[in-house]
Structure 1
């Protein structure tokens, strides 16, 4: 996707897609996030994780959400326009992510809607998913983002 310095609600097209760069999840990343934010044995201790239903260490779903946000910001699908999140719908963790997995984020604009009460802005709904190196979907969600509309031209 071509990088634009600034994009507006009016520039976005339903069906527009972009892919993030693949990235690897390491054991150290999983444990560090788990210890700080989701201290369950299957996120923090490989030996203890072996006796859980997952049979080994897995990444926290919240960790995956944070990684998706990072990748979305780096991809700059809206150019230099700041991302103002309004919410997340339909969040599903579909498959465990293990140390050494390589993930790729895919995103598609599924709705663009100008606000009727504040026509200087609107909402963009984006379907986001990630797959691992085997093409297995690991997470799916929809984000709601507020975007400014193109400023009206002023005559003089």
Structure 2
């Protein structure tokens, strides 16, 4: 179990990778982001992207799933008060494999609630070519390690 104290400034955690399929791009777009360049090959070709691409929200959701699977599921996470920044730098295309990692930027004990602290991270997602496709600055609240006794 990871607690607040287990996150050190400068620490980098690799989150794993995920291959994005055309079918997933289409299904996500139909339900959550039905813009033509996410849904239709011809519209994608005629767009500035030159093909259909994943929604940026889908990219963020995939990266969050990687974060949960590799860090948050075995932690004392108390949720997040939100993001400070989310940037989609390059399009994600069918067949791309995304790899994500986080770097701990700050680790601050709560001044008003002794049982928790906040951890600020920078997430970076890269495609199979090593190109950064997304960055995110976020804060997560974690319970502090219980006193042994």
- Which TM-score band applies after superposition, normalised by the shorter structure? over 0.9
Structure 2 residue runs of 5 or longer lacking an equivalent are: none
Residue deviations 1:26-80, cap 9 Å, x none?
1111111011000001111112211111111011000011101100011126734
Instruction: Find out whether 1:39 has 2:15 as its counterpart.
Output: no
User: In the aligned structure 2, how far is the partner of 1:151 from the partner of 1:20?
Assistant: 26
Contact 2:78 2:140 in 1 (8 A): yes
Aligned residues: 149
Map 1:1-156 → 2, pairs under 5 A: 6-76=1-71, 79-82=74-77, 84-153=79-148
Contact 1:18 1:77 in 2 (8 A): no
| Length-normalised TM-score, structure 1 | 0.89
Structure 1 residue runs of 5 or longer lacking an equivalent are: 1-5
User: In the aligned structure 2, how far is the partner of 1:66 from the partner of 1:85?
Assistant: 15
Moved beyond 4 Å, runs of 4+? none
Give me the CA root mean square deviation.
1.5
Contact 2:25 2:94 in 1 (8 A): yes
Contact 1:7 1:78 in 2 (8 A): no
| Length-normalised TM-score, structure 2 | 0.93
User: Greater helix percent: which structure?
Assistant: 2
User: In the aligned structure 2, how far is the partner of 1:46 from the partner of 1:112?
Assistant: 45
Partner in structure 2 of residue 3 of structure 1: none
Post-superposition shift, 1:83? 5.2
SS of the residue aligned with 1:30? helix
